[in-house]
Amino acid sequence: MKSVKVFTVGLMAAGVLTAANAATVAKSEKQAEAAVEYRQSLYQLVKSNAGPMFGMAKGALPFDAEVMKTNATRLEQLADMMADYLLVDTTKFDVETDALPALFSNEADVMKKISQFKDAASGIKAAAMSGDEGSYGKAIGALGGSCKSCHDDYKD
């Protein structure tokens, strides 16, 4: 009986997490400003972790599998938080943002792009763990492609 209760609580928690990913509309200018700040902070964390990996791919930094593994793990974790910050619709308020209105009306596509971003981060981690420096270029290319795809569609 205990396993049934644990399973039921797990399903309920999964439902709550799924609901948290649904697009929401900011209810006040203060909430809209906070949403923009959190989005921008998230992107700064992505940049600070992806930057060194892009530098390694370009040969500007020495190849370091441990840095790749650590930073890719962080990007996976950030991907898990992205929907919570990206899908807060701030268009009803006069807030300074580079997010295009399309970001808030294409939830399924945004979720797909987040999934691709996380998959790319996982690919980098796998490449780092394999010790095969040659596999890294393709993996980092997938990450760059996932970033570009979202920027092309949803960033001004």
Q: What is the DSSP string of 22-80?
A: S-EE-SSHHHHHHHHHHHHHHHHHHHHHHHHHHHHHTTSS---HHHHHHHHHHHHHHHH
* Residues 52 and 71 sit within 8 Å (Cβ to Cβ): yes
Is 151 marked as binding a ligand? yes
Is 150 marked as binding a ligand? yes
Is 141 marked as binding a ligand? no
The 3-state DSSP class for residue 111 equals helix
Binding positions for heme c are: 147, 150-151
Binding positions are: 147, 150-151
